A and B are shown apart, each in its own frame.
Chain A
Amino acid sequence: MLEIKNLHASIDDTPILRGIDLTIDNGQVHSLMGPNGSGKSTLAKVLAGDEAYEVTEGSILLDGVDLLELDPHERSAAGLFMAFQYPVEIPGVTMKYFLRTAINSVRKYREQPELDAYEFLSLVKERAAMVELDTDLLDRPVNGGFSGGEKKRAEIFQMAMLEPTACILDETDSGLDIDALRIVADGVNKMRGDNRSFLVITHYQRLLSYIVPDVVHVLVDGRIVRTGGKDLALELEEHGYAPIESEHAVDA
């Protein structure tokens, strides 16, 4: 369960998040929508612990653990995963080596035994199939020369490998064609389960046709201004963000 309470965050003294309250129960998928610049991606980065942002108020608990007390890699080990909007390239480090280091770092933190080469490769095979990822990609440098679709699929694949309890998808649909979108969504859907919560951040409704959310939130100017069911996304698709933005413009 991911509980965000009265979260305020700013960058270079400019407030971006102005009091976010959001609780995602295990087993639930929440979607966070909003216009450009509303603070969606900021929330993802603050959750993951990006030090460019300063948390000025509020709390973030993951299964009761205070994430704000943890460094980014410890948050990951504690079960938080963020799929990056722009996955980063690391030249010379193969995806396999990277993932094995990641998975064993996380397992060590969780006091689980490290995976040996055989166990690791079996897991890779199984999870790669889940997101229809060509395992040849894993011998290439991390995200190096990957197409847009490959990058996003690789993110979901890493998510499947690390088995997090809270998954943040930051605009995972951006830059994907319809086939890639379906594959990514299938991967996420397969991972839905009683012990896992999802926060799907997106600007458009179309991803939500594939990953059907339990709850939809609308973020405007760093605050959640509306919360509703999956139909809210359709409503936004039809009318755009303008009506909601003007409704809340006074607060800005």
Chain B
Amino acid sequence: MTNDPNAMLDQWAEQPDYKWGFVTDIEADTVAPGLDESVIRFISAKKDEPEWLLEWRLDAYRKWLTMEAPEWPHFPDRPWGPIDYQAISYFSAPKSDEDRPKSLDEVDPKLLETYEKLGIPLEERAALAGVAVDAVFDSVSVATTFRDKLKEHGVIFCSFSEAVQEHPELIKKYLGSVVPATDNYFAALNSAVFTDGSFVYIPKGVRCPMELSTYFRINALNTGQFERTLIVADDAAYVSYLEGCTAPMRDENQLHAAVVELVAMEDAEIKYSTIQNWYPGDENGKGGIFNFVTKRGICEGDRSHISWTQVETGSAITWKYPSCILKGDDSIGEFYSVALTNMRQQADTGTKMIHLGKNTRSNIVSKGISAGHGHNTYRGLVNIRRNATDARNYTQCDSMLMGEECGAHTFPVIEVANDTGHIEHEASTTKIGEDQIFYCNQRGISPEDAVSMIVNGFCREVLAELPMEFAVEARKLLEVSLEDSVG
């Protein structure tokens, strides 16, 4: 063990034990790698989708073929070559999908075990945690808990596939309404091949009685995960939604291209929290998830409120900008983010706040931590349109650097097109001070605990936005990476 902060920080660069890296040996239905219209037809048929949805997918696919992958993300340490989309399998489901489980008792015990290992309570004891869970394993949703209890309140919480069958009118109305099928390269790909995901509808005036949660797990080799989440909060409804993600350790890069759409009507509030811990690859940058996600919410109604909170510790490459379109007057958009990049991880993340309505407010707090050869980029847009009078934005982007090979980059764009908008943007870059570590040491706190404490302190404003159970998990996640790399 060492006390030298520099040596300690160097050790940060070493690979933390990825505790979620196991592979579950489950019989799976996987289509052969490759992508063409027949694959899309296969997925759609497998899910017994209506004709319009198949057409929607095919439309997206045809547009995707004409689009180019974005080149602008800033990944200085990891030029990522073109992805071979033909080498990816676009559908993998645990075999038991054939006769989808009716209750948890019917779920493959190995699957339950997997979620147990992940620390996700699928069992009814989850009741104690007050969280309803939808678990998505590779391409399909394997279990959704507490549906009956939610139903009593009129809340719909089910897998996307089920929603297509049971609530086609809602899906047809809202699918692609916030993130159009051809919004960007990866959204188009997702629209063509998405396999499952979660759907939530909170009716007028209902406060969802428990936290809703989805856990995503990529298990199968050479598969991509393309899930889709759609949450609609009707007038004066409230929901807090959590998602967590893990994947096994694989030497090959795996692609995750999700789309999340949120719709908040008048006086509605949606709180969306993510803990993203996909496999980051090893210290040489081998393997790991390419995480290209499009998340966007629309504050459709007056006084609506959408809040994004994310803790991003995984993935080899992360590319996501959870955004808010503030359309309703007096609506509020928030973005709280912690992104940690270690080893060879690269994250290009941030948000867009588009102010259309009057008196709209947005708040952005972004904390980037770079260690090892990691590079962390904040990219954001705050756009105040001419008619968005009295709009306000406050942005704070802080970066913490550990070690001499990493980088922190901040590329915000602020556009204000009227005289009543008020924008404040602040950014800073710091390192953990040797004096801070020494001070902690002098009080009996070990160097690794000191680093973890200082990092947690740095992220405090963001962690405070997470629901209690998730905050604990997030803190542990940050700490675990630290413990294992500093010791």
Contacts and interface: CB of A to CB of B under 8 A. Distances in A.
Interface of A: 48-51, 71-73, 75-77, 81-82, 84, 87-93, 97-99, 101-103, 105-106, 109, 141, 158, 162
B439 A87 contact: yes
A145 to B, nearest CB: 14
A71 B3 contact: yes
B151 interface: no
A158 B1 CA distance: 26
A96 B386 CA distance: 47
Interface string B421-465: 000000000000101101111111111011001101111110000
A92 B441 contact: no
B311 to A, nearest CB: 15
B27 interface: no
A102 B457 contact: no
A102 B453 CA distance: 11
Nearest to B452: A101
A71 to B, nearest CB: 5
| Chain A CB within 10 Å, residue with most, of B440, B458, B459, B461 | B440
A98 B446 contact: no
B435 A162 contact: no
Contact of B460 (A50, A76, A92): A92
30 contacts: A48-B442, A49-B441, A49-B442, A71-B447, A72-B3, A72-B438, A72-B442, A73-B442, A73-B450, A76-B442, A87-B439, A88-B435, A88-B436, A90-B439, A90-B440, A91-B457, A91-B458, A92-B460, A93-B460, A98-B443, A98-B453, A99-B443, A101-B449, A101-B453, A102-B440, A102-B443, A102-B444, A102-B445, A105-B446, A106-B444
Contacts of A109: 444
A105 B449 contact: yes
Contacts of A84: 439, 442
Nearest to B463: A92
SS class, residues of chain B in contact with chain A: helix
A90 B445 contact: no
Contacts of A162: 443-444
B446 A93 contact: no
Contacts of B435: 88
B438 to A, nearest CB: 6
Nearest to B4: A51
Contacts of B456: 92-93
Given A49-B441, A90-B453, A73 B447 contact: yes
A92 B439 contact: no
Contact of B3 (A49, A76, A99): A49
B244 to A, nearest CB: 24
Given A49-B441, A72-B442, A73-B444, A90 B3 contact: no
Contact of A93 (B433, B438, B444, B457): B457
A71 B442 contact: no
B454 A93 contact: yes
B458 A71 contact: no
Given A49-B3, A90-B457, A141-B457, A105 B436 contact: no
| Chain A CB within 10 Å, residue with most, of B441, B449, B453, B459 | B441
Nearest to A78: B444
B438 A50 contact: yes
Contacts of A71: 1, 3, 441, 446-447
| Chain A CB within 10 Å, residue with most, of B1, B449, B453 | B453
A146 B458 CA distance: 18
Nearest to A164: B444
Q: Which 7 A-B pairs have the closest CB atoms?
A: A92-B457, A93-B457, A72-B441, A92-B460, A106-B444, A76-B444, A102-B443
A73 B451 CA distance: 13
Contacts of B446: 71, 73, 105
Contacts of B442: 48-49, 72-73, 75-76, 81-82, 84
B285 to A, nearest CB: 31
Interface in B308-359: none
Given A71-B447, A90-B436, A93-B460, 19 more contacts: A49-B441, A51-B3, A72-B442, A73-B440, A73-B447, A76-B441, A76-B444, A77-B444, A81-B442, A88-B435, A88-B439, A92-B457, A92-B458, A92-B460, A99-B443, A101-B453, A102-B445, A105-B446, A106-B444
A101 B91 CA distance: 47
A217 to B, nearest CB: 23
A192 to B, nearest CB: 21
Nearest to B446: A73
A158 B444 CA distance: 11
A49 B440 CA distance: 12
